[in-house]
Amino acid sequence: MIELHYSPEVSDARTHGQAIVALESTIITHGMPFPQNVETARRVEATVRAKGAVPATIAVLEGKLRIGLSDTELEQLAMTQDVMKLSRADMAIAITTGKTGATTVAATMIAAHLAGIKVFATGGIGGVHRGAEESFDISADLRELAITPVTVVSAGAKAILDLPKTLEVLETFGVPVIAYGQDELPAFWSRDSGIGAPLRLDSAADIAKSHRTRRDLGLSGGQLVANPIPKADEIPRSELQTIVNKAQDSVGKNGITGKDVTPYLLSRIFDLTDGRSLASNIALVLNNARLASAIAKELNTTPA
């Protein structure tokens, strides 16, 4: 087995059987600018603690798979340039060669599962990019949801993606896409996508229950919870559409491909909205941390 390096806080939580929520690190290194990235990471951790669970931010630091980071490590990671973006394909190489890398949704799910953590909070998962019929750009996050049994709390798939195609792939893979408390699929910065969600649940208790039921049925893979951004923090879909189209145009014009596409789009949209997209992104991540904590506590207190 691979050696997992737990922070003292997470190690203590494991000893005492406390609820733990996994957090990713690509959002810190590739999803937000400094210093908002480290400020957000700290606020997300504080939110999980305030809700009575323990945060475990996951990353590979100098080849060590870390489950939980100290405040100094979090800050260092947030300030470091050229950190690797680790998905399923990259994790073993980063560990083998002693590199530092931030984990995406896919890689964080793998690490969380190794550590026995069942719930993970992020912003938005990767999915099928617009123009995927040409580029074949489909995030490894989707396949990970099909095989690794972690409940991922997101604000839906990012609105930069082709949402109908993303839903089709998730359906093919047998991944439950569960809107929380509404019928429509939320679209990251907006509460609504204009598309109905395949499934809906209205409580953390039910989400925990369905996680357990999937296990009891012997089904592989996780659940995707799509938690709408709070109303006060959203950018309405109508406003966002032209901005996303503009950002998407510049992907093609500038020859951006592969792993760089999502970070590039997020930073273009930041510029095009004068920073409003970042404020929304921060609010939705905090909102997801709250729901993930409630689910983790439900999974922890109810009998196996």
Cβ distance to ligand PSU smaller for residue 24 or 184: 24
Cβ distance to ligand PSU smaller for residue 227 or 262: 262
Q: Which of 40, 57, 100, 104 binds ligand PSU (CB under 6 A)?
A: 104
- Residue 121 sits in the site that holds ligand PSU (CB under 6 A): no
Strands (E), the chain: 4-6, 20-23, 54-61, 64-67, 84-86, 101-103, 119-121, 151-154, 177-180, 199-201, 223-226
- Span from 48-56, 135-143, 177-185, 218-226 in contact with ligand PSU (CB under 6 A): 135-143
Facing residues of 169 across strands?
A: none
CA pair distance 108, 67, nearest whole angstrom: 10
| Catalytic residue check, 24 | yes
Cβ distance to ligand PSU smaller for residue 24 or 75: 24
Cβ distance to ligand PSU smaller for residue 27 or 150: 27
End-to-end Cα spacing for the chain: 25
CA pair distance 39, 28, nearest whole angstrom: 9
- Residue 137 sits in the site that holds Mn ion (CB under 5 A): yes
CA pair distance 294, 288, nearest whole angstrom: 10
Partner interacting with residue 31 (select from ligand PSU, Mn ion, none; CB below 5-8 Å by kind)? ligand PSU
List C-alpha distances in Å: 51 to 20, 85, 182, 188, 232.
11, 29, 23, 22, 21
* Residue in 51, 85, 158, 259 annotated catalytic: 158
Q: Which of 10, 77, 105, 291 binds ligand PSU (CB under 6 A)?
A: 105
Binding site for Mn ion (CB under 5 A): 137
Residues serving a catalytic function are 24, 158
